[in-house]
A and B are shown apart, each in its own frame.
Chain A
Amino acid sequence: EDQVTQSPEALRLQEGESSSLNCSYTVSGLRGLFWYRQDPGKGPEFLFTLYSAGEEKEKERLKATLTKKESFLHITAPKPEDSATYLCAVQPLQTGANNLFFGTGTRLTVIP
């Protein structure tokens, strides 16, 4: 069964304190892995797509990496506005599987 596990559940960082969020996945075949950001009371907002092991994507203070079993979201020198829940999702390779399987997210709080 396809499964996505994110850790830690919650993370508190001082402004400027870099860290990483983990997403471990089990899927019969991976079409893609996706990172989303969700602010309270809003829908998730797309951040990155990763397709193959070794791939990296960057956007401002965020960098996403992918291996065959997990993905990391690295946050460099975070700011309070980076506070949000970060969701990881996988899209299985099987034909017709267009839906995403989401993890439960990591709730990030950046303290000024």
Chain B
Amino acid sequence: GAGVSQTPSNKVTEKGKYVELRCDPISGHTALYWYRQSLGQGPEFLIYFQGTGAADDSGLPNDRFFAVRPEGSVSTLKIQRTERGDSAVYLCASSLIGLEGEQFFGPGTRLTVL
């Protein structure tokens, strides 16, 4: 009955490195979302999964960003060749199908690219 969990809570990396951020949604939530939130801004949509497939990846900023959800539960957001501008809090959320506006968010992963 736990909520959405994300690991790690903090990640510091160097410019050009590869990072993976993990999200464990609420059990039974088929819909999963990734957002990015910069300081003083609202969350910005990145990608939406319905089950195992990415139903909408229109928010991914470029091809350095990729996300998977191979078994329809845990999801991993992958960022290649990180840039300083990628520094932000990456939020994951899940919801029931049909109630996409009522999203349950995890605490986020704070990514810092030096």
- A binding-site residues for B, Cβ under 8 Å: 4, 31-32, 34, 41-46, 49, 87, 89, 91, 96-105
- Complex-state Cα separation, A46 to B93, whole angstroms: 11
- Complex-state Cα separation, A9 to B6, whole angstroms: 28
Q: How many A-B residue pairs have CB under 8 A?
A: 61
Contact B42 A46 (CB under 8 A): no
Contact A104 B41 (CB under 8 A): yes
Contact B105 A100 (CB under 8 A): no
Say how far B100's CB is from chain A's closest CB, in angstroms.
Answer: 4
Contact B55 A43 (CB under 8 A): no
Residues in B with CB closer than 8 Å to A31 are: 101
For B, the interface residue count at a CB cutoff of 8 angstroms equals: 26
Say how far B96's CB is from chain A's closest CB, in angstroms.
Answer: 12
Residues in A with CB closer than 8 Å to B65 are: none
Residue B107 interfacial (CB < 8 Å): yes
Residues in A with CB closer than 8 Å to B33 are: 98-99
Contact B101 A100 (CB under 8 A): yes
Residues in B with CB closer than 8 Å to A42 are: 107-108
Could you list 30 examples of A-B contacts with CB < 8 Å?
Answer: A4-B42, A32-B101, A34-B102, A41-B107, A42-B107, A43-B4, A43-B91, A43-B105, A43-B106, A43-B107, A46-B102, A87-B43, A89-B42, A91-B100, A96-B55, A96-B56, A97-B56, A98-B48, A98-B50, A98-B55, A98-B56, A98-B100, A99-B33, A99-B45, A99-B59, A100-B43, A100-B101, A104-B40, A104-B41, A104-B42
Residue B44 interfacial (CB < 8 Å): yes
Residues in A with CB closer than 8 Å to B43 are: 44, 87, 100, 102
Task: Identify A103's interface contact among B42, B56, B93, B101, CB under 8 A.
Answer: B42
Cβ < 8 Å to A, chain B residues 98-114: 100-108
Residue B31 interfacial (CB < 8 Å): yes
